[in-house]
Chain A
Amino acid sequence: MTHTSDPATATATAKEHTTATSLRLEGLCRRIGGRPILDGINLEVAAGECLALLGPSGCGKSTVLRVIAGLDPCDGGRILLDGRDISQQKPARRRVAMVFQSYALYPHLSVERNLSLGMELRGVDPEQRERELAAVLELLQLSALRRRRPSELSGGQRQRVALARALLRKPQLMLLDEPMSNLDAQLREELRPQLRTILCGGRAPAIYVTHDQQEAMGIADRIAVLQEGRLQQCGTPQELYQHPANLFVAGFIGRPQINLLPQGDGTVVGIRPEHLRAVDEGGLAVRVRSREWHGASQLLLLESAQGPLRWTCDGNQTLGDDLRLGWERRHEHRFEQASGERC
């Protein structure tokens, strides 16, 4: 048995597992009983890129993964993996690995068997099996746990075993379905950089489904926002934040939520809470309703003639109850009220 003591070497070994490929979805559709669950999704993920699929629950983001993996049928459009349409291939032949939300570890097998059974049945020879197993155990710091059953592992450990099993598949595409949603907040934050190193930097593209925008921004190179089976916008976290394509993305990305002020001329102005400024005259007259302390900053919930407003300002500022607020023109987002599209 060879032990790779240097983590960098182990990472390199794990990366060799995958071949450089890219994924392209063209008009992907999925219907259940005539109702569209996915309605013409177009996406592209480059080799080594990690794309987060973000959206509220029920928006179809897990369905995208299931259709790509072949667990759900593809009712329209094409799935191109390196230019080859795999949409009608059997799931076993797609060379796609998936980490499930529940991890789906085989409960009757030890960590070691969970990881090696697949290789064994795929006919990998014993020597290579042992080598790859040792490398991936090392990479994910699981060596000490190799004889344990899944029920004897913590949530974070189970997640790492699931990830290790997916890596051993040497996938051309890596799919992760809310892999951190069963972990507590602190652990999630700790695991994020580790997961990022393993996913982005591999040679296969990865799609990471989550409903948590912090997680999406922390892990992914680009984020695709999904709502009611339609792709709303796809771009880097900065693009989504600075140039939301429509009202939904504007309202969904960024916490505290953006202020949306209807203008009466059929447009809506969006202004982020941190871009509001107190002004001496002009601007908008507001009245403070309540305050939330966030440590360095405070969030004020305000009442104005144009509806409620949120304002993030310096935590040390002492303020009266009646204020006037303004903002710079360059921070303003303008949307058409009827279509929701950006002007």
Chain B
Amino acid sequence: MKAGTRTGLVALLLLWSLGPMLWQLYTSLRTPEALLAGAGGLAGGWTLANYGAVLGSDPPFWRYLLNSTVVGALSTLLTLALAIPCAYALSRRGGLLRLLVGGGLLAAAVFPYVLLFLALLQVARQLGLANNLLALCLPYAGLQLPLAVLLLQAAFAELPPELEESALLEGFSLWQRLRWILLPLMGPAVVSTGLLVFLFSWNEFPIALTWISRSELLTLAPAMARIAGSSVYTVPYGAFAAATVLGSVPLLALLLLFQRQIVAGLTQGAIKG
């Protein structure tokens, strides 16, 4: 392939995936008039008022960001705390048991969770978990557990067994082997699995919508839906776009922070160390 063609293809792909985001950014910085007038020129019509409106509303937008961050972080920690021991045990088991449990986990991981949300709502009502922000972690961690166990199990299985055997003969306990030998070597896998869980809980809509009704407890997804539907007569494009941009900033920061681990996690097993 010629260098020119390659550059062109890469540019096209970038435009395809980044286009919608750039459009949101553009929309968030325009006045309603400029947006509706269409091709009125780029000279005028720029504003930060949309951000002001979103941040100044009641409750302010940062409240939703905080709620989502708390739920996301707790779900991630809970999932990892449960998934790491499960994955370890599964990777150290052979034969039929691993096949059956692995198959069951795979089935659970690919099951469309949207079908569950009515049943989950019943559960929340029965247990009095409605309008409890932290309770959201329970379904989130539960739903992401199968995938997390499968990913981490593969990562455990990839570590050479002699490493753990060597630690075992040195007298390390199970916990010490995990803490000092296995987990430090699984950094990339743990980080990318954790990020997947965090992203899921950040984006999750149906459960958050049905479990939470008090506006100061809303997470990002239902809060944005509220902004979009706040007026019967107009669609607040600008405010909605500003909320989207603000909602993606923490994710972007997170991805940049863990960039190296994510790439290493995704390509794990591709090359022998």
Listed in ascending order, the chain A residues whose CB lies under 8 Å from chain B are 69, 71, 91-94, 96-98, 100, 102, 104, 106-108, 117-118, 121-122, 151, 165, 169
- Contact partner of B169 among A92, A107, A108, A121, CB < 8 A? A92
Instruction: List chain B residues, Cβ under 8 A from A97.
Output: 169-170
Q: Which residues of A contact B168 (CB under 8 A)?
A: 71, 91-92
Q: Is the CB of A91 within 8 A of B162?
A: no
B170 in contact with A102 (CB, 8 Å): no
Cβ–Cβ < 8 Å partners of A165 in chain B = 166, 170
Q: Is the CB of B171 within 8 A of A108?
A: no
Whether A121 pairs with B273 at a CB distance below 8 angstroms is no
B residues 155-173 in Cβ contact with A at 8 Å: 160, 162-163, 165-173
Pick the contact of B180 from A91, A92, A117 — CB < 8 Å?
A117
Question: Which residue of B162, B165, B171, B181 contacts A122 across the interface (Cβ within 8 Å)?
Answer: B171
CB distance from B158 to the nearest CB of A (A): 13
Interface membership of chain B positions 118-162, coded 1 if the CB is closer than 8 angstroms to chain A and 0 otherwise: 000000000000000000000000000000000000000000101
Known: A102-B160, A104-B160, A104-B163. A96 touches B169 (CB 8 A): yes
Q: Is A69 within 8 A of B273, CB to CB?
A: no
Of the candidates A69, A98, A100, A118, the one whose C-beta lies within 8 Å of that of B171 is A118
Count of inter-chain pairs, beta carbons less than 8 A: 61
The number of chain B residues touching the other chain, given as a range, is: 10 to 19
Extra pairs beyond A169-B170, A169-B171 (8, CB < 8 Å): A92-B168, A92-B169, A100-B166, A102-B160, A104-B160, A104-B166, A107-B273, A169-B169
Instruction: Enumerate chain A residues within 8 angstroms of B170, measured Cβ to Cβ.
Output: 92, 97, 117-118, 121-122, 165, 169
| Minimum C-beta distance from B160 to chain A (A) | 7
Question: Is there an interface contact between B165 and A92, defined as CB atoms closer than 8 Å?
Answer: no
A100 touches B162 (CB 8 A): yes
- B169 close to A106 (CB less than 8 A): no
Residue B176 is within 8 A (CB to CB) of chain A in the complex: yes
23 contacts between A and B (CB under 8 A): A71-B165, A91-B165, A92-B168, A92-B173, A93-B171, A97-B169, A97-B170, A98-B165, A98-B166, A98-B169, A100-B166, A102-B160, A104-B162, A104-B163, A104-B166, A106-B180, A107-B185, A108-B185, A118-B171, A121-B170, A121-B172, A122-B170, A151-B273
Q: How far is the CB of A117 from chain B (nearest CB, A)?
A: 6
Closest residue of chain B to A99 (Cβ to Cβ) is: B166
A96-B184 Cα distance, complex, nearest whole Å: 25
A96, A97, A100, A151 — most chain B CB neighbours (10 Å): A100
**Residue in contact with A106 in the complex, picked from B163, B176, B273, CB distance below 8 Å:** B163
Q: A100–B31 Cα gap in the complex (Å)? A: 69
**Bound state CA distance, A69 and B161, in angstroms?**
14
Contacts of B160 in A (CB 8 A): 102, 104
The reply to whether A69 and B185 form a contact with Cβ atoms under 8 Å apart is no
Q: How far is the CA of A161 from the CA of B204 in the complex (A)?
A: 50
